[in-house]
Amino acid sequence: MYLSNAMEKPLLEFTEKGIYCAKAKVYIDPWKPVDNAIISHGHADHSRWGHKHYITHHSNVPIIKHRLGDITVAGKEWGESFTVNNVKFSLHPAGHIIGSSQIRVEHKGNVWVFTGDYKTENDGVCVSYEPVECHTFITECTFGLPAFKWTPQREVFENINQWWYENKSEGKTSVLFGYSLGKAQRLLKHLDTDIGRIYTHGAVENMTEVLRPLVDFPKTVRITKETKKQELIGNIVIAPPSAHGSTWIRKMVPYVTAAASGWMTFRGARRRRAIDKGFVLSDHCDWQGLLDCIRSTGAEKIICTHGYTEIFSRYLREQGYDARTEETQYEGESSELNTPDGEDIKIR
Amino acid sequence: MRKFAQLIKTLDSTNKTNIKVAALTEYFNMADDHDKVWTIAILSHRRPPRPVNTTLLRQWASELANIPLWLFEESYHIVGDLAETIALVVPSTSSSTDKSLTQFLEEMIILKKKSDQDKKSYLYQNWKALDYYERFVFTKLITGGFRIGVSQKLMTRALAKSTQIDEDILAYKLMGNWDPSTISFQKLILEENESDFLSKPYPFYLAYALEGEVENLGDVSKWSVEHKWDGIRCQVILRNNEIFVWSRGEELVTDKYPEFESLIDVIPNGTVIDGEILPFPKGEIGTFNDLQKRIGRKTVSRTLLKKIPVVLKAYDLLEWKGKDIREKPFMERRRLLEQLYHKSFNTTNPDMANISDRLPLYISETMHFDTWEALTEERELSREKHSEGLMLKRKDSPYLVGRKKGDWWKWKVDPLTIDAVLTYAMRGHGRRSNLFTDYTFALWNESEDGEKELVTFAKAYSGLTDAEFRKVDNWIKKNTLERFGPVRSVTPHHVFEIAFEGIAPSKRHKSGVATRFPRILRWRQDKSIHEANTLDDLKALII
């Protein structure tokens, strides 16, 4: 166990610009412009515009370049360490989306890990989460409530494909909502193309094009002004949630909508959005997943950043952890369909 | 049970009425007769009494889920539905049951009398044996009604499709007192049985709010106008020397309003009056706030009876001399009602001098206007008269079933409004469980030592668009001052225009004022908190 000097500043601090390592003068996923930023993954609440230097996993480089334009960015390998002023940093797979990393920070034997967003299940698209031993674990807890329990994705995709198949036999177009970075690729990777063709909204297609060199995805067809309504029938359309209720989607009539999100656990969540069907599928940990990950890091100090932080940290304290909450500006899996969760925020 | 759970799932997972009706019709076509009776009972709020109280349910569910009770409570608060929370947190299985809906309900009726230990093992056994959705439905049967967007009307429509019996006749058959555990589907729905109809009210005819300009209703002379009284809409039934009082919620409330027993002697058998129960303190119509003191009480003390007596304000006559006269034109029914009204006084107390001896029966005066302008002026007087506005009824209209457009319209007065400051927020329930959508509002008041302070006066949770709720929610999360369980206090910063229907002095409220139906009218982003109204401004609205 690492004994910290009471007089010493903590290795990472929560400042108004973001999580800060004063010793290395480096920020982690900052929300205000800084000089040096290490970025966990490409969603907009974690990778913001306006930093001078970005460091991130190399598979995230094309993503943030696509989103943020001409930035100065250095790509790193998993586990490749780099030292700034005696502080050692390295990136480790978080399993959230392609290129998503946990960020490990070590100084004089004191190890902190920042998870960004993460999930335990191998989604077949990105590199799986790997537990990293540490003393202090900064974790998200978007779904940090015992009500959240994911079913294996194989079952979820069986249901999604079944739903598509049924819509097709009724002569309808299936419209499936998922964020254009991450969820959309996970969905299209596992769709059964024997049923029909996969069409994409422009935002989804653009992002998928960026990722094709990294992952093998099935063929997709971009929806353009020329796309005929008739050719969509029986096929599936992957669109960002913000497309729901837009004029763009009215072109698809007759269509059936579905959303794939952890929030679909709640009966009310689907109904409120006036979506026909909800599939529980998340790129975050469920309750048990969070607890298992925390245990596997061996950490004694836990800092909860976003999600049901108060509730989750209280539970952890009762389980004997030294757990607390810090306010950040991360949003987790947005519970609101029309709220852009990062990737759908417009690019400046 | 599997079929019933599947039905509930289908109903719950669509917003489309025709899909709901189709699912219900299909269920009524294939389900076992007794399961049908129970389904009708459940969807018309006639479930058996709750066999296990919710405190025990919460405790046992958290034990089975192996989580502390506080964590269960927090989860419940976020999920917003007890049965759903329980179904989510207890360990999941994928097994299913062959037991019928009727069997489950019969078990639940017996369960009520059993020991806590037996109840607990019954629940554990079923929670462990049912898949997620069946578990949810099973628990829902224990805890309460299904709020799945299926009105009794919709259910009746499906039943009509399945049985080929007229929808209005079915609505009538389903009213009143019947016990799902003893009645058969044959007897409840299929048989014609006059003797059962003794206590049965007629389905209420309800008006829609007026759309557009009142002039668009055409010829003003074709309309009869009344004030819209703010009490409890009811039917008073006199048959076979018995009186039955039904509220619009189809609740038999005869015992709550013993005042009406005196009507037995003066109103002939075979009479059904549609009217409004109104509070009548100090010999005049009171506010809804007065009536609220009576509503919750099953037995009424003599002091309360004296302090807040109630009267019936009669609107309409539905049955006369044992005959259903709903098809007759409104003016004809009114003529009979007025006859009845005058006659009943002649037989008892001709001089009507002594108010306390007076029958608790009044008539809602009808008015006739020559111009829409004159009618509009009358509406302006509503608040003074303690009415909510006007009711417009076509003179030749029959008494229809349910909410129908065309013949009757309600034209309420515009609500009162005040600008107030957002001070506390709570997460919404059910479909809004991830957003802070339940707000508390405050007004300025000068305390005794001359300090200006914000005093809470109302809670409201409707009136903003989803986009506005998201914005406010986001702001709340970043501007929380303190957390008290699910409630957060926030920096006083935002001003909202709050609308409400009525206002009355109240000792129970910190502000000293109770408002009726408060809701958010607009987000006043143009106003700073110092421009919000004061408590004195609010009190000035009390008539």
| Domain at B265, CATH number | 3.30.470.30
Q: Are residues B111 and B138 both part of a single domain?
A: yes
To test the contact with chain A by mutation, choose from B16, B434, B468, B472 the residue with the greatest count of A C-beta atoms within 10 A, namely B434
Residue A3: pLDDT band (50, 70, 90) is: low
CB contact under 8 A, B79 and A269: no
Residue A334: pLDDT band (50, 70, 90) is: low
To test the contact with chain A by mutation, choose from B77, B433, B474 the residue with the greatest count of A C-beta atoms within 10 A, namely B433
pLDDT at A91: 98
pLDDT in tens, A245-268: 788 888 788 999 999 999 999 887
Q: Are residues B268 and B319 both part of a single domain?
A: yes
pLDDT in tens, B406-434: 899 999 988 889 999 999 998 876 556 67
| Radius of gyration of chain A from its Cα atoms, rounded to whole angstroms | 21
pLDDT at B506: 85
Q: Are residues B372 and B272 both part of a single domain?
A: yes
pLDDT at A341: 35
Distance CA B171, CA B189 (A): 10
Distance CA B91, CA A156 (A): 19
Distance CA B289, CA B502 (A): 9
pLDDT at A337: 37
Q: Are residues B16 and B41 both part of a single domain?
A: yes
Instruction: Give the residue among A266, A260, A263 at the shortest CA–CA distance from A281.
Output: A260
Distance CA B109, CA B181 (A): 9
Chain B partners within 8 Å of A146 (Cβ): 65, 67, 71-72, 75, 88-89
What chain A holds in terms of domains, given with CATH numbers, is: 13-147+283-325 (3.60.15.10), 153-279 (3.40.50.10890)
Distance CA B463, CA B441 (A): 14
Nearest to B67 among A146, A265, A270 (CB): A146
Q: Are residues B38 and B67 both part of a single domain?
A: yes
pLDDT at B298: 66
Q: Find where tokens 């957003």 sit.
A: B435
- pLDDT for residue A5 is more than 60: no
Residue of chain A minimizing CA distance to B8: A267
pLDDT at B196: 58
Is A345 within 8 Å of chain B by CB?
no
pLDDT in tens, A177-207: 999 999 999 999 999 999 999 999 999 999 9
A347 secondary structure, DSSP code: P
Name the domain boundary from B128, B143, B158: B143
pLDDT at B348: 52
Chain B partners within 8 Å of A269 (Cβ): 431, 433-434
pLDDT at A35: 96
pLDDT at B82: 93
**CB burial readout B421-453, b (16+ within 10 A) else e:** bbbbbbbbbbbbbbbbbbbbbbbbbeeeeeeee
Is B172 within a domain? no
- Say if pTM beats, i.e. exceeds, 0.80: no
Structural domain including B422 reads: 416-539
How many domains, chain B? Answer: 3
Amino acid at B219: D
Q: Are residues B229 and B322 both part of a single domain?
A: yes
Residue A95: pLDDT band (50, 70, 90) is: very high
pLDDT at A338: 35
Sheet of B205-209, strands arranged across: B205-209, B402-412, B387-394, B223-229
pLDDT at A49: 92
CB contact at 8 A, B172 and B202: yes
Q: Which helix (H) or strand (E) holds A303?
A: strand A301-307
| Radius of gyration of chain B from its Cα atoms, rounded to whole angstroms | 26
Residue of chain B minimizing CA distance to A151: B92
Distance CA A290, CA A95 (A): 13
pLDDT at A267: 85
pLDDT in tens, B500-542: 988 888 888 888 898 988 999 999 988 889 989 999 999 888 8
Is B338 within a domain? yes
Is B101 within a domain? yes
Is B301 within a domain? yes
Is A280 within 8 Å of chain B by CB?
no
Mean pLDDT by 10 residues, chain B (543 residues): 92 85 96 95 86 95 96 90 94 86 95 96 95 94 80 88 85 79 90 71 92 90 94 93 86 84 91 95 85 80 90 96 96 95 69 60 94 93 89 96 90 90 84 79 87 90 86 88 82 93 83 90 89 90 78
Return the percentage of chain B with pLDDT > 90, whole number: 55
Which two three-digit tokens encode residue B46?
A: 């006639």
Q: Are residues B428 and B380 both part of a single domain?
A: no
Which two three-digit tokens encode residue A150?
A: 């994911």
pLDDT at B452: 87
Q: Are residues B231 and B357 both part of a single domain?
A: yes
**Segments of B395-484 assigned E as strands:** 402-412, 416-427, 436-446, 452-460, 480-484
Mean pLDDT of A71-76: 96
Is B462 within 8 Å of chain A by CB?
no
The CATH number of the domain where B426 resides is what? 2.40.50.140
Nearest to A145 among B75, B92, B470 (CB): B75
To test the contact with chain A by mutation, choose from B58, B77, B79, B471 the residue with the greatest count of A C-beta atoms within 10 A, namely B79
The CATH number of the domain where B32 resides is what? 1.10.3260.10
Residue of chain A minimizing CA distance to B69: A315
Q: Are residues B324 and B464 both part of a single domain?
A: no
pLDDT at B6: 93
pLDDT at A182: 95
Q: Are residues B311 and B221 both part of a single domain?
A: yes
CB contact under 8 A, A272 and B431: yes
Is A150 within 8 Å of chain B by CB?
no
Chain A partners within 8 Å of B470 (Cβ): 336, 338-339
For B:72-91, CB contacts with A below 8 A are 72, 74-75, 78-81, 84-85, 88-89
User: To 5 degrees, how large is the angle CA B403–CA B404–CA B408?
Assistant: 100
Is B148 within a domain? no
Q: Which helix (H) or strand (E) holds A74?
A: strand A73-76
**CB burial readout B223-257, b (16+ within 10 A) else e:** bbbbbbbbbbbbbbbbbeeebbbbbeebeebbebb
Tell whether ipTM is more than 0.85. yes
Is B250 within 8 Å of chain A by CB?
no
pLDDT at B290: 86
Is B183 within a domain? no
CB contact at 8 A, A144 and A304: yes
Collapsing DSSP to helix, strand or coil, A104 comes out as strand
pLDDT in tens, A311-332: 999 999 999 999 999 988 888 7
Instruction: Please list, in sequence order, all residues whose beta carbon lies within 8 angstroms of the beta carbon of residue B484, skipping any fewer than 6 positions away.
Output: none
Is B64 within a domain? yes
Q: Are residues B429 and B374 both part of a single domain?
A: no
**Distance from the B471 Cα atom to the nearest Cα atom in chain A, whole angstroms:** 10
Instruction: Give the residue among A72, A67, A52, A73 at the shortest CA–CA distance from A348.
Output: A67
More confident residue, B415 or A87: A87
pLDDT at A343: 30
Q: Are residues B373 and B225 both part of a single domain?
A: yes
Is B200 within a domain? no
Is B358 within 8 Å of chain A by CB?
no
Compute φ and ψ for B218, nearest 5 degrees.
95, -135
Name the domain boundary from B121, B143, B165: B143
CB contact at 8 A, A101 and A59: no
pLDDT in tens, A140-171: 999 999 999 999 999 999 999 999 999 999 99
Name the domain boundary from B390, B409, B428: B409
